[in-house]
Structure 1
Amino acid sequence: MKNICELKHFANFKASGLSLLTENLHTFLNCKVLMQLTPVKNFEKYFGLDIHTNINRNCYKISEKKIALIIKIFGKEHGSIDAVVPIVLFGENITSIENSLFEILSNLLSKRMTECKNNSFYGGLRFFGDDFIREAISKCLAPKQYDFSRIMFLVELFEKLASMTFEGDYFTTGLILSKSLYEYGEKNGKDRKGKLRKINKHYDIVRKPSIEKRFWYLIDGFSSFYLMDQTFVIKQTFTRNEKKSKLTDYFDSYFLDNTLMGGDIAFRVIGPNEVSIITKKGYEFIKIESKWRIRNFSWLNTYLESNIKLDIEITRAVIYYVTLCSQRHCSSIIWIPKNETESEIDKVISAKNKIWKDDLNLVDEMNKSIIQRIMSSDGVTIISKEGKIIYCGAIVKLDVKKEGGLMGTGENAAKILGQNGVAFKISQDGNIKIFTNSLTDPTIY
Structure 2
Amino acid sequence: MQAHEDGAESTVTQAMSASAPGPMTALAKRARLAARTLATSPTSARDRALWAAAAALREASDTILEANAKDLAASTAKDAFRDRLTLTPERIEAIARGLEDMADLPDPVGRVLEEWTRPNGLRIRRVATPVGVIGVIYESRPNVGADAAGLCIKSGNAVLLRGGSESLHSARAIHAAMQAGLRAADLPEDAVLIAPDADRKHVAEMLGASGLVDLLIPRGGRSLVERVQKDARVPVLAHADGLCHTYVHAAADHGMARRIVLNAKMRRTGICGATETLLIDAAIAPTLLPSIVADLAEFGCTFKADAAAREIVPTLPAATEQDFRTEWLDAVLNIAVVDGVDEALDHISRFGSSHTEAIVTADEAVANRFMTGTDSAVVMWNASTQFCDGGEFGFGAEIGIATGRFHARGPVGVEQLTTFRYEVVGTGQVRS
TM-score norm. by structure 1 comes to: 0.24
- Richer in helix (by share): 2
Higher relative contact order (CA 8 A, sep 6+): 2
- Richer in strand (by share): 1
